[in-house]
Every structure is written in C-alpha cells, then in structure tokens.
C-alpha cells in the first residue's frame, strides 16, 4: 500500500465517533462479523441515488481499508437508483491522499480506476444502477449511503441484508471555494466510520 494512504488510515481517529453513531453502525458490524466468522465472502454494494459521491467514497475506502486490516474476503461495489457520473472532486479527494488515478474512457459517464498500491487490482469507478451487471446479483448487503436511496429502494432484489450507512451529501459545497476541502472532509468521515466498522467486525469474528 502506498505509504501516504497507509499513514492517512493510521491517523484516522475512531474515538471521535459518537456513541449514537456507534449504535447505528451495529447492524453493519454484525453482518460483516458473521460473514468473517463463517469464512464467507463479504459482498458490499454501497447504494446512493446517483452513484456519484457518497457511494463511491464508501466503495473505494471499504476495499482499501479491508486491505489495510488484512481482511481478504471483503469485495466492495457501488450503484445508484439511477446512473449519472462520478463527481470529479471525489476522485480529486482520493488523489490528495495518494491514490493513483487512471482513465479507461472519456464520455458523459467516464470510467476511471484508482489504485492504493502498485500490485493491487484497480478499483474501477463509474456511475451505474445498483443492479448493473458489474455488481453482484445475490449474496450481498445493500448498504444505503443516503436517505433518499434508503427511501427510494424499499426492496433491493438479491440482497441478503439491507443496512443504513448514511451521510450528508457533500454536493452542497459544489461550486464554492471550499469544494475540494469539503469533499476531503467527507472522504475522511466515511473512511473513519469504515475503519471502525471493519476493525470491530474483525475483532468480533475471532
């Protein structure tokens, strides 16, 4: 793993997570812990309305933090109730902590990839609906990263669990002088929660 990303994760402070938030994360922790204990693959499909911001932050950090913690059975995906495009400041926020970025296509919904290590498989990033062929059809948790998607998707076909993991939308900062800073803050917030969730799940699965 690139040293800058490793240091970023090492510096995340999970003690700042509120007790109320920890209670909200218990279902997520329990799902992962049960899967780890039974030696099953943990498929996580992070779902948001447009699959453009929070769901990508969650997908990419989930795969990266799983590697950081040595959890090899976590596979992360993302989707939306509709497809748009990955918002550029999401990718810039990842680049700012050391991820390498590449492009596979240039169009209205470009396909990019991020890497957290030279020898790691690339994490492919493009906006898609949650049931896109790129995503698992069965044996996955639908992890809802925004309240709108939570309400719009009362039922996700094939999901064995439906988990609330919601965040405020950084979109409110778009076009402001502090746009990238706000996206970096959201990236860090999501990474901190995922580090807590995965660390607790790993501990409980022993």
Q: May I ask the CATH class of domain 3-9+42-204?
A: alpha beta
Pair of tokens at residue 82: 């509709």
Contact 99, 184 (CB under 8 A): no
**pLDDT higher than 90, residue 156:** no
What pLDDT is recorded for position 149? 52
C-beta contacts of 113-120 below 8 A and 24+ residues apart: 114/60, 116/1, 116/2, 116/5, 116/63, 116/64, 116/67, 117/1, 117/2, 117/67, 120/1, 120/67
Angle at 41 (CA atoms; ends 161, 189), nearest 5 degrees? 65
Q: Which residue has the tokens 């779902």?
A: 47
Stated as kind and residue range, the H or E segment containing 144 is strand 140-144
End-to-end Cα, the chain, rounded Å: 25
Lowest average pLDDT, out of 1-10, 16-25, 118-127, 147-156, goes to 147-156
Largest CA distance in the chain: 48
**pLDDT higher than 80, residue 147:** no
pTM: 0.95
Cα–Cα distance list, 108 to 84, 122, 127 (Å): 8, 21, 10
Percent of the residues in the chain that have a pLDDT greater than 70, as a whole number: 96
- 162 DSSP 8-state letter: E
**pLDDT higher than 90, residue 185:** yes
Write the pLDDT tens digit of every residue in 68-103. Answer: 999 999 999 999 989 999 999 999 999 999 999 999
What pLDDT is recorded for position 148? 67
Euclidean distance between CA atoms 6 and 9, whole angstroms: 5
Euclidean distance between CA atoms 107 and 179, whole angstroms: 23
- 120 DSSP 8-state letter: S
Write the pLDDT tens digit of every residue in 42-56. Answer: 999 999 989 999 999
**pLDDT higher than 70, residue 154:** no
**Which 3 state secondary structure label does DSSP give 3?**
helix
What pLDDT is recorded for position 152? 59
**pLDDT higher than 90, residue 153:** no
Sorted by where each begins, the domain ranges of the chain are: 3-9+42-204
Q: Is the dihedral of CA 146, 151, 156, 162 positive or negative?
A: positive
Q: Across all residues in the chain, what is the average pLDDT?
A: 94
């Amino acid at each position: 793993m690139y040293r800058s990303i490793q240091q970023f994760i090492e510096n995340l402070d999970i003690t700042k997570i509120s007790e109320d938030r920890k209670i909200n994360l218990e279902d997520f922790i329990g799902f992962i812990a049960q899967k780890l204990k039974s030696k099953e693959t943990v498929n996580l499909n992070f779902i948001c309305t447009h699959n453009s911001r929070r769901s990508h932050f969650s997908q990419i950090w989930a795969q990266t933090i799983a590697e950081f913690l040595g959890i090899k059975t976590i596979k992360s995906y993302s989707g939306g109730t509709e497809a748009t495009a990955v918002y550029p400041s999401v990718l810039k926020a990842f680049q700012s902590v050391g991820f390498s970025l590449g492009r596979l296509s240039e169009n209205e919904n470009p396909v990019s990839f991020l890497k957290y290590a030279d020898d790691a498989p690339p994490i492919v990033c493009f906006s898609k609906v949650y049931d896109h062929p790129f995503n698992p059809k069965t044996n996955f948790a639908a992890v809802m990263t925004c309240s709108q998607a939570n309400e719009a998707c009362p039922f996700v076909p094939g999901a064995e669990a439906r988990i609330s993991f919601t965040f405020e939308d950084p979109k409110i900062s778009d076009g402001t002088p502090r746009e990238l800073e706000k996206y970096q803050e959201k990236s860090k917030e999501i990474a901190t929660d995922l580090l807590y969730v995965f660390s607790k799940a790993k501990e409980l699965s022993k």
